[in-house]
Chain A
Amino acid sequence: MPRLLKTHYSAVVTVNGHVHRLTVPGHERLLTTLRERLHLFSARYGCGTGHCGACVVLVNEEPVPSCLLLTVRQQKNRIQTLEGLKKDSLLAQLMTSFAEEHAAQCGYCTPGLLLSARHLLKTCPSATESQLREELSSHICRCTGYYAPLRAIAKVRDSYAVD
């Protein structure tokens, strides 16, 4: 039977390996759940329309805008935020490279950029310049002009050895 009367739903969501049992309104976006219920603040609110990439998280390893996703639809998915990747060596290399290349200024876009960059280098370790640009096109950065993040990611690509 379709659930015709409910407006709140029990949702079991797995974030950074932890299983959370929540009751959320049907319209709640994953971004709101992460920030306001789970206090994971790396994903940021930028536009709320899928255009800026500030809210990117990994869903089943793929970077997606959490502002467009309904929390109730995430029950079978594995969600990761930057907080859950503290021990990830590729992410650590990217963060170092971002610092060295001054690729983060205000830092608002940085968590999203890092997750997209990590995804690209994992799935395509020898990504070309145009693939890097294509992946970064998901993100708006008002500070760096994009060259510094591109340089930082290319530097890791050139040194990153796949396991």
Chain B
Amino acid sequence: MRWIEAHTIRQVQRCLSANVPIVGGGSWLLSDGSVPEAVCDLREYPWAQGITGNESGWMIGPDVTLSQWLQALDSENVIAEVIRKMGTPIFRRVATVIGAVANPQPVADLYPVMRLLGADIFYIDLHHDSIQHEKLMWPFRANPRALVGLWVPASTPYRFIAFRKYTKGRLTRVLLNLGTGLAQQGDIMTADFVIGGLSQWPYEDRVAGASHSISHQISQRLRNQGNITPFYQALIMEMCDDVLNQWEHRADRRSEL
């Protein structure tokens, strides 16, 4: 296997045009003894390295592991909640944040919350001689591309973002995950949700209405989809109701204060 350390846009583009995969932590790409002919390593790519955080958000470089970001986050932060639910501590010390958002596997845990937070990806592709950026969204519009940075804004349009995940066991395949963003204006509540595990790409939707009707509306929307089995509908509704409960609890606490 050839191991290529890319330091310039041109070098990255040569790898992309030769279909050389970019390697992050390698936990997926290199697992189970798989040996690509070559890999392109961006860990030393001199654009964004490490974690830069300020009041407006986080910039994450391709060298940052899930574990490093977890340590830098406030433990109450929803991103920390997601990362804590990903794999095990030894896995999180190897897998990178960018590897997790670059890898559009059917059930990927970081994606739903990154979507709700409106994260941007910075990337190199074959069509531009400078680094491009756009909102993170699967499937990627331009392929192939090398991600060199992830920007996660600190402010969000939501009052509350929650994440739920269903696996049969800690080490077995994830079956389903759900990211939900709740906003409220007067009596009208909006719930955006991103669900991984139903099809190849995460399913995104929005419902709005009086807060007591939200659960019913989501349930209706899932039924109307036609292709979601009753088992998955029930699973999603249990997660949604749990999130709505948590939200109500918070709202109560706030009004008490």
B94 to chain A, nearest CB (A): 5
**A63 and B93: CB pair below 8 A?**
yes
**B4 and A4: CB pair below 8 A?**
yes
**A3 and B31: CB pair below 8 A?**
no
Q: A50-B27, A68-B27 are in contact. Are A63 and B90 (CB under 8 A)?
A: yes
Considering only residues 49-92 of chain A, those with a C-beta below 8 Å from chain B are 49-51, 53, 56, 62-65, 68-70, 72-73
**A65 and B3: CB pair below 8 A?**
no
- The size of the chain B interface, using a CB distance under 8 A, is 33
Contact with B along A1-32 (1 / 0, CB 8 A): 11111110100000000000000011101000
Question: Which residue of the partner chain B has the closest CB to A1?
Answer: B11
Chain A residues near B25: list those with CB within 8 A: 68
Chain B residues near A7: list those with CB within 8 A: 1-2
- Decide yes or no whether A48 CB sits under 8 A from chain B: yes
- Decide yes or no whether B35 CB sits under 8 A from chain A: yes
A42 to chain B, nearest CB (A): 15
Question: Which residue of the partner chain B has the closest CB to A135?
Answer: B89
Considering only residues 108-163 of chain A, those with a C-beta below 8 Å from chain B are 116, 134-135, 137-138, 140
B189 to chain A, nearest CB (A): 33
- Decide yes or no whether B6 CB sits under 8 A from chain A: yes
Choose from A25, A56, A68, A137 the contact partner of B1 (Cβ within 8 Å): A25
**In the bound complex, CA of A139 to CA of B87 (Å):** 11
**In the bound complex, CA of A97 to CA of B215 (Å):** 52
Choose from A1, A2, A49, A116 the contact partner of B31 (Cβ within 8 Å): A49
A interface: dominant SS: loop
**In the bound complex, CA of A25 to CA of B15 (Å):** 19
**B14 and A48: CB pair below 8 A?**
no
**In the bound complex, CA of A111 to CA of B43 (Å):** 30
**B88 and A3: CB pair below 8 A?**
no
**A26 and B2: CB pair below 8 A?**
yes
Q: A27-B35, A53-B88, A69-B26 are in contact. Are A64 and B170 (CB under 8 A)?
A: no
Considering only residues 1-56 of chain B, those with a C-beta below 8 Å from chain A are 1-7, 11, 14-15, 25-27, 30-33, 35, 38-41, 43
**A62 and B30: CB pair below 8 A?**
no
- Decide yes or no whether B142 CB sits under 8 A from chain A: no
**In the bound complex, CA of A134 to CA of B1 (Å):** 35
Chain A residues near B94: list those with CB within 8 A: 50, 64-65, 68-69
- Decide yes or no whether B91 CB sits under 8 A from chain A: yes
Q: A50-B27, A51-B171 are in contact. Are A134 and B89 (CB under 8 A)?
A: yes
**In the bound complex, CA of A49 to CA of B110 (Å):** 20
Q: A63-B89, A64-B90, A137-B88 are in contact. Are A2 and B26 (CB under 8 A)?
A: no
Q: Which of A26, A53, A116 has the most CB of B within 10 A?
A: A26
Question: Which residue of the partner chain A has the closest CB to B172?
Answer: A51
Chain B residues near A63: list those with CB within 8 A: 89-90, 93
Considering only residues 47-106 of chain B, those with a C-beta below 8 Å from chain A are 67, 87-91, 93-94
**In the bound complex, CA of A93 to CA of B203 (Å):** 51
A113 to chain B, nearest CB (A): 11
Given contact pairs A4-B2, A56-B90, A70-B30, a sample of 9 additional A-B residue pairs in the complex whose CB atoms are under 8 Å apart: A2-B4, A2-B6, A4-B38, A6-B3, A7-B2, A26-B2, A49-B31, A72-B3, A138-B91
Binding site for B on A (CB under 8 A): 1-7, 9, 25-27, 29, 48-51, 53, 56, 62-65, 68-70, 72-73, 116, 134-135, 137-138, 140
Which 4 pairs show the lowest CB-CB distances between chains A and B? A27-B1, A26-B1, A138-B88, A138-B90
